[in-house]
Amino acid sequence: MSEKTFLQIFEDELSLYGIVWCTGCEKYNSHKRGFAISKAREIHYDSKIATRATLHGGLHEIGHIVANTPSMRRWEQEASAEAWANKRMAELGISIPRKVRREGKAYVARMKRWGNNIAAGRK
């Protein structure tokens, strides 16, 4: 039996948690960056899931659904999803590229600086 591809691993995770994966639709834009809709248990992410980096991105979005709570502040949601993705990659025995780890830490720090006012941080 051959090893699973990153795509197969990702699809297994989606199935495990009962999450729907949309790779592009008319309702929402920005599928490239990815986002999760917790109540609908769906993620919107157009990645091919072919590398460790894209798998981590997809797991991060799953983390928003399985590890976040509504009472969390925005930066806490990002930190929680990032931590969940990192933990899950370790459990799967897949190393996280240094660049992905560095970018994740920077993203969480940026969200923390901006607080709940994300729009103000973009100016």
Percent of the chain with pLDDT over 90: 68
**What is the C-alpha separation between 87 and 13, in angstroms, rounded?**
13
Domain count, the chain: 1
Residue 42 belongs to what domain range?
6-117
Query: Is the entire prediction scored with pTM above 0.85?
Result: yes
Residue 1 counted as domain residue: no
Q: Is the pLDDT of residue 114 over 90?
A: no
Each residue of 12-48: pLDDT tens digit?
999 999 999 998 887 777 777 789 999 999 999 988 8
Residue 67 counted as domain residue: yes
Residue 122 counted as domain residue: no
**Among candidate residues 48, 100, 121, 110, the one with its CA nearest the CA of residue 78:** 110
CB 66 within 8 A of CB 84: yes
